[in-house]
Amino acid sequence: MFALRNASRRLYTSRRSRLLSTLAVLEHRGGQVSASSLPAVTAASKLGGPVTAFIAGGDSASVAAQAAKLVGVSKVLHVPNGAYDKGLPENFAPLLAENIKAGGFTHVVCAHSAFGKNIMPRVAALLDIQPISDVTEIKDATTFVRPIYAGNAIATVKTGQPTNIITVRGTAFPASATEGGNAEVAEAPVDPKAPALVEWVEENLAKSERPDLATASKVVSGGRGLKNKVKFDEFMPPLADALGAAIGASRAAVDAGFADNSLQVGQTGKVVAPQLYMAVGISGAIQHLAGMKDSKVIAAINKDADAPIFQVADVGLVADLFQAVPELTEKLKNE
Ligand code: FAD
């Protein structure tokens, strides 16, 4: 009898341990779930198990109510504590690690954004888990595709870990619908209220009337070919405005002070995949391509017909940008 009972308990335990359950960590700003978190919810749904959304901050209850409507989310856990408002990794990571342990999740998914890149490696370290970052495809619950060497190679990785800490590339998954879900909302079981190791002082956000670079459907980016900041400011904003596009820049342009750091596209900048990406005076170095090569249509203006950008461009114009850009801007304005 004893042996039988033990055997059935073992069976139950092993079945339970195979059950998938995913925690999707959501970012929020100004009381709204961030657009960058919506593809993460889609990715979490693809894993196959139920998806629990996780939110922390002073206004977590109202953000949780929004998250409950996300399609694919079956439960929302929130932590109503202003200590987590700014997503400081030193505070957020222990909170998340404790809730992952309490919930026994098999997968934890977050956007591969500044927030996710800050927090998830720390969570993985606290749980002694190898994180899987910048995932672009989910083959199944244990097999993930991710770019390596600045996108020069694509690795398919297999995991046997009981818990998997994953960040996903936002441009690789569609955004989940924000209406239609009806998830249960509850407070998270654990708030360790760890002593704050760091203090939030201030933030200086770049303000712009133009679309946000990370989510814009059209992007025009300028490179070193623009020669200096005065010319960048003279030629790029009118082109962007005529197209209704966000402005981006190559690292060379950013390093030379033509454009703000927040506008850098590429391996060490933002990864974008708009409907239209126009590269102006950009050579097309591999580190730049890593941030834009998944764009639907790539257009390039460069005076060098052999510039590598033309190898990925759908539409190319070999011309002096100082002549071509004003002509193009005028034509677009008159359309
Ligand atoms: P250039 O390579 O100097 O190209 C300028 C182009 O403008 C040329 O093709 C030229 O023909 C054209 N041009 C010049 N004058 C005109 C004109 N009048 N009309 C038309 N065309 C003209 N780069 C990034 O962009 N993003 C990154 O995130 C990034 N990360 C990096 C990370 C690492 C670890 C390293 C090592 C490098 C990284 N880089 C990154 C830098 C990258 O290698 C290139 O140096 C950079 O992308 C070059 O920028 P560019 O194309 O503007 O400049």
For residue 8, what are the contacts with CB-CB under 8 A and spacing of at least 6? none
pLDDT at res. 18: 57
How much is the ipTM here?
Answer: 0.99
Query: Is 224 assigned to a binding site?
Result: yes
**What atom in ligand 1 is closest to the CA of residue 252?**
49
pLDDT at res. 12: 33
CB atoms within 10 A of CB 241: 16
- Residue in 224, 231, 311, 325 to alter for ligand 1 test, most ligand atoms within 8 A of Cβ: 224
What's the CA-to-centroid distance between 324 and ligand 1, angstroms?
19
pLDDT at res. 196: 75
What's the CA-to-centroid distance between 319 and ligand 1, angstroms?
17
Q: How far apart are the first and last CA of the chain?
A: 83
Query: Is 267 assigned to a binding site?
Result: yes
pLDDT at res. 94: 95
Query: Is 250 assigned to a binding site?
Result: yes
Residue 123 contacts residue 97 (beta carbons within 8 Å): yes
pLDDT at res. 69: 98
Ligand 1 binding pocket, CB closer than 6 Å: 223-225, 250-253, 264-269, 281-283, 285, 287-288, 291, 301-304, 307, 320-322
Structure-token pair, residue 87: 């997503």
Residue 57 contacts residue 28 (beta carbons within 8 Å): yes
CA torsion angle 306 312 315 319 (round to 10): -30
* Tokens 């708030």 sit on residue: 191
Provide the β-strand partners of residue 109. Answer: 24, 166
Residue 281 contacts residue 309 (beta carbons within 8 Å): no
What's the CA-to-centroid distance between 215 and ligand 1, angstroms?
22
Give the global pTM: 0.82
Q: Which residues of the chain have pLDDT under 70?
A: 1-18
Query: Is 161 assigned to a binding site?
Result: no
Residue 253 contacts residue 265 (beta carbons within 8 Å): no
Query: Is 176 assigned to a binding site?
Result: no
